[in-house]
Amino acid sequence: MLKIPQPAYVSLRQYGEETYPDECCGALLGQFDDNGSEAGSEAGSKTVTRIVRCGNTRADSPHNRYHIDPRDLIRIQREGRERGEEIVGFYHSHPDHPAEWSPTDLEEAHWFGCSYVITSVEKGVATITNSFELAGTDEDDKKFVDEKMEVV
């Protein structure tokens, strides 16, 4: 379960509209609520406190790929820690494509237990927003599982 405050939810959807027809991307900061995250059970829920917009560095194919600059990520992580926040997930948009993860999205996802939020932007208007949690223990058995998202 991913809990996200209304303003952050609105903002991440708007970002997808602003960058249309390119993909937008960013990070979700907050806290892992840390219950039931033992092996075999579902990971605990997460609460988003803030979203950070990132530049899409995929200049070669920005309409269907996204990439967050690793230097951006390190900075975001450091600034978050100073405020008691952790990276709990990432988000990006799918211009004129469904809000479902692609094989490339899975391939490029490496943060286990984190949420990957995808917003479909149809003709410049944000429609469906879904969240998926990266489950598994390593690159060989990783998979996305549907995650409930609650706007609070």
User: Which residue's CB comes closest to Zn ion?
Assistant: 105
Question: Burial level of 132, CB count in 10 A (0-12/13-18/19+)?
Answer: buried
* Residue 15 or 80 with smaller CB distance to Zn ion: 15
Indicate which single residue of 105, 109, 116, 126 sits in contact with Zn ion (rule: CB under 5 A). Answer: 105
* Residue 45 or 144 with smaller CB distance to Zn ion: 144
Residues 6+ apart with CB under 8 A from 58: 23, 65, 66, 67
51 to 26, 116, 137: CA distances (angstroms): 7, 13, 26
* Residue 23 or 85 with smaller CB distance to Zn ion: 23
* Residue 84 or 98 with smaller CB distance to Zn ion: 98
How many chain residues bind Zn ion (CB under 5 A)?
Answer: 2
Contact call for residue 147 and Zn ion (CB under 5 A): no
Q: Which of 17, 18, 23, 86 is catalytic?
A: 23
Contact call for residue 22 and Zn ion (CB under 5 A): no
Window of 3-11, 83-91, 96-104, 128-136 that interacts with Zn ion by CB under 5 A: 96-104
Q: Is the dihedral of CA 29, 34, 39, 41 positive or negative?
A: negative
Both tokens assigned to 68: 């967050």
Phi, psi at 48, each rounded to 5°: -85, 135
Establish whether 18 is a catalytic residue: no
Q: Which residues bind Zn ion (CB under 5 A)?
A: 102, 105
